[in-house]
Each structure stands twice: as C-alpha cells, then as structure tokens.
Chains A and B, each alone.
Chain A
Amino acid sequence: EAGVVQSPRYKIIEKKQPVAFWCNPISGHNTLYWYRQNLGQGPELLIRYENEEAVDDSQLPKDRFSAERLKGVDSTLKIQPAELGDSAVYLCASSLGGSNEQFFGPGTRLTVL
C-alpha cells in the first residue's frame, strides 16, 4: 500500500513569491491534515479536511495561506506571498474516518530567502 505522497520534497524561494505544496493521501483515507513543523519543534496543525470540507482551519493564517481539496482526495496548500518566517517543513497526514491513527508523508521543506 502506498503511503502519503507529497511534492515537492524541497523548495527554495525568495520572499514575496508564491509557493504551492501537493499531497495525495493514502487511498480511502477521507481525513487529510496539513501540519507545519518549525525547526526544533513538533508539528502544528494548519488545517484538517473531512472529505472536501475544511472542518478545522482555525490555525491557518488566512491572509496568506489557502488550501483546497476539491474532490476529497488530493490537496494543495498555497502560500502567497511567502515570508521569511514561513520557512519550515510542511507535513501532510491522512487517516480513515473514525480512526485515531494518522499516517504522515515525507514533508516539503520550504526555505524562504
């Protein structure tokens, strides 16, 4: 069974540029999460989807961050414009509805110069 797939694995951009990250969850997993992991810290939730509905986006900085999961499968997280403080690893995770176990992808390491 394939795991959670994320791309790109690494991204280097200059500040004020836009950037997008893509995630494909494990097949059949209807819950999808985006986390951000700053250096030396644990992951923190940005947004959680149940199918195509964003059910928890309270920690998403909505002035510059947006996310979508149009068909309830893969998802895109966008930052526009990026700031220096956005440098972090962006993790995608998925779980089966009703399950408490989340499976993580390899992450996208973003560096904003």
Chain B
Amino acid sequence: AQSVSQHNHHVILSEAASLELGCNYSYGGTVNLFWYVQYPGQHLQLLLKYFSGDPLVKGIKGFEAEFIKSKFSFNLRKPSVQWSDTAEYFCAFLKGTGRRALTFGSGTRLQVQP
C-alpha cells in the first residue's frame, strides 16, 4: 500500500535554529510531492510542491524541499525558523497516474520557542 512516513512527530526548536523535517514515501511510480502547513486554528495551506524538473523546490516563507528519488524522500528545510513557523506540517504525495487523491503523512508538530 502507498504511504508517507514522517519520522518526527513533535519538534521543538529555538528561534533562528535550522529546521529539517523528514518525509519518505512508498510508491514506485511517478509522484507529485507536497508539503502542507496548518497554523493553529487555520486550514491546510500549500507550502511547496514538486512536480518535475529541479529537485530542489522553494516555497513560501523561506521554506525549501529536496526530492531525492533514490531515497524516496522529500525533506523540508528552513535555515532559520521564526516563532510564527509554529504549526503542523504535513507531507503528501499524489500518484502520477490513476487515483487522484493525496496520501498524507501523519504530520509533524513544530513548536518554535522565542
């Protein structure tokens, strides 16, 4: 079965620390990859996406992610986090063909301390 693993369930960082959240997917075919963010009390918002081309993609608010096909990974990074980055982060993938529904990971709760 296709799935997404997010290895860090809860991450606590101080402001200005660097962030890397792990994401691995299990599917052998072509995929589109996404990171969504959910700020407290708000709805899911797209942070960044990878469809094809340059495996290093940049999103909003200084986030970036790198697709490494050989590792089935799509890790999220930010060089310096801010208190306002406190949120829950979800990695998801969409199969290139067939079923057109996102498969989500279980999420990583990021808490940034001032």
Contact = CB atoms under 8 A, between A and B. Distances in A.
Contacts of B32: 100
A56 B101 contact: yes
Contacts of B42: 106
Interface in B1-52: 4, 32, 36, 42-46, 49, 51
Interface string B71-114: 00000000000000000001010100001111011110000000
Contacts of A14: none
Interface in B44-73: 44-46, 49, 51
B102 A102 contact: yes
Interface residues of A, number: 22
A33 B99 CA distance: 12
A22 interface: no
A104 B43 contact: yes
A56 B99 contact: yes
Contacts of A3: 43
Contacts of B99: 56
Interface of B: 4, 32, 36, 42-46, 49, 51, 90, 92, 94, 99-102, 104-107
Nearest to B42: A106
Nearest 4 CB-CB pairings of A with B: A42-B104, A45-B101, A104-B44, A106-B43
Contact of B46 (A45, A56, A91, A101): A101
Contact of A41 (B36, B45, B102, B107): B107
